[in-house]
Amino acid sequence: MTTALHTAPPTASARLRALRPDWLDDPRVWRTEVLAGLVVALALIPEAISFSVIAGVDPAVGLFASFTMAVTISIVGGRRAMISAATGAVALVIGPLNREHGFGYLVAAVILAGAVQIALGALGVAKLMRFVPRSVMVGFVNALAILIFMAQIPEMHDVPWAVYPLLAAGLALMVFFPKVTRAIPAPLVSIVILTVVTVAAGIAVPTVGDKGELPSALPLPGLPDVPFTVDTLTTVAPYALAMALVGLMESLMTAKLVDEITDTRSNKTRESIGQGIANIVTGLLGGMGGCAMIGQTMINVKVSGARTRLSTFLAGAFLMVLCVVFGPVVSDIPMAALVAVMVMVTFATFDWHSIAPATLRRMPVGEIAVMVITVVGVVATGNLAVGVVVGSITAMAIFAKRVAHLVDVSAVTDPDGAGVVYTVTGALFFVSSNDLLTRFDFGGDPARVVIDLTGAHVWDASSVAALDAVTAKYEQRGKTVEIIGLNQHSARIHQSLSGQLTSH
């Protein structure tokens, strides 16, 4: 007699255990994530205060924004371990609105920008990232490293002489301490040691406290203090749209970079929507909004080795704890210690292989030009989005020119001289089709002309218009034209557009 074995369905607790990430049970991962979050929080403080100055708001506004952005995106974002907070790009976009109309309008723009980002994310704008070439990505990374370094120059100019040995000591600690142990992030060790030294020795150097007063309480939710009218909407909408686009571009580019560094994939649609949610939450709590921060993300992922959402969440949480509870201690951190961290981030971020002589000799000139143009565009404007757009447009133009030269037209006349067959190969589109008319001998060809497109592909209306023009010129001379070999897509576009593109 056979006894049937019945497996009991899993209990609710068993299902919850199955959903738990494996790293929750690994103390080494916890240590890495917690310490990484602490390092990032310390680095965020002076950055957030500086961006507040750019936007023309109180330092607490930038710190609140960094707190709410980091905590919210750690839950709703699509890229683990990426840091979002108040950023210079966003501050540059919305700063004029604050100066011209007041803080209430800035908050309204942040909330509206969040709504726009959610809409763009739902519409699949993240899929456009596939059109960003690698040369633009390399240029983006290198330009970012240059911008990070340039942002540190004011902290090294016209300062007490003691700043320079402290800076050198911080860099030395971060280079050599990992050779001793990687259990504790070298940036954290450097910050702690330099702070203790400056406080104990009474060395007078610029500190975090010199950047502005740290907040002493958590933010409270509320609606922006603006009239809810069409005039208000028309005032804030242009700034909100610009902020939404710049924020999404920086966030998606940073997510793509982290994907490459960690060899993992992110959900960029979720990240786009998550950025919108985070900005709405930030606006309702009186923050200035933000997006992904490449510098702090590099500290978190590349320098500290974080890989989970925990580090992002703790970066925001620690930021508020450090400001509200340990404000006096944090205020004593020398700026030299944080500048040293950011200089190390610069060197870790820059793609040195891309400018090696051996690499430059092998790279096509067009690829090098796109990389350089992207870097120049970013550094000249201080806006990552501008550089990426200019670089991508340049790459498309170079690609179009390169592909246009791959079109070939060859002619074979029948032995009896009654007809000629033109064989066209390559991609026919608005660039390559412009020269198509010059490849046919309208006056000298016999009465019957066959155009064989078996090896070609018709991509757009310009190509159809060019084929129509070729046909018309032959027909004006009393000759017949037959187009053969169209593939399914080419035949469909040719059939729907042929004869419809001219008014005469």
**Chain segment 64-91, per-residue pLDDT in tens:** 999 999 999 999 999 999 999 998 778 8
Please give the backbone phi and psi of residue 285, each rounded to the nearest 5 degrees, phi first.
-100, 15
Nearest to 486 by CA among 460, 464, 457: 457
User: Average model confidence (pLDDT) for the chain?
Assistant: 86
Residue 313 to residue 30: CA distance in whole angstroms: 13
Q: How would you class 357 by CB atoms within 10 Å of its CB: exposed for 0-12, middle for 13-18, buried for 19 or more?
A: exposed
> What is the pLDDT, as a whole number, of residue 317?
94
What's the Rg (C-alpha) of the chain?
30
- What confidence tens digit (pLDDT) does each residue in 359-380 have? 888 888 888 999 999 999 888 8
Amino acid identity, position 476: Q
Tokens of 257: 């970079």
Average pLDDT over residues 308-327: 91
Q: What is the pLDDT of residues 150-165, one digit of tens each?
A: 878 888 888 899 999 9
Task: Tell me if 81 sits within 8 A of 308, measured CB to CB.
Answer: yes
Contact 49, 212 (CB under 8 A): yes
pLDDT band at 315 (very low <50, low <70, confident <90, very high): very high
**Can you name the residues that pair with 451 across neighbouring β-strands?**
422, 483
More confident site: 15 or 86: 86
Indicate if the pLDDT at residue 503 is higher than 90.
Answer: no
For the whole model, what pTM was predicted? 0.70
For residues 386 and 236, which has the higher predicted lDDT (pLDDT)? 236
Q: Is the pLDDT of residue 218 over 70?
A: yes
The answer, yes or no, to whether residue 118 has pLDDT greater than 90, is: yes
pLDDT of 1 higher than 70:
no
Report the pLDDT value the prediction gives residue 255, as an integer from 0 to 100. 92
pLDDT given for residue 133 in this prediction: 83
- Which two structure tokens, joined as six digits, stand for 12? 């609710």
What 3-state class would DSSP assign to 420?
strand
Q: Is residue 3 pLDDT above 80, yes or no?
A: no
Contact assessment for residue 374 and residue 390, using Cβ atoms and an 8 Å cutoff: yes
pLDDT, tens digit, for every residue of 449-492? 999 998 899 988 888 888 988 899 999 988 999 998 999 989 99
Per-residue model confidence (pLDDT) at position 433: 78
Specify the pLDDT at position 504.
47
357, 336 Cβ separation under 8 angstroms: no
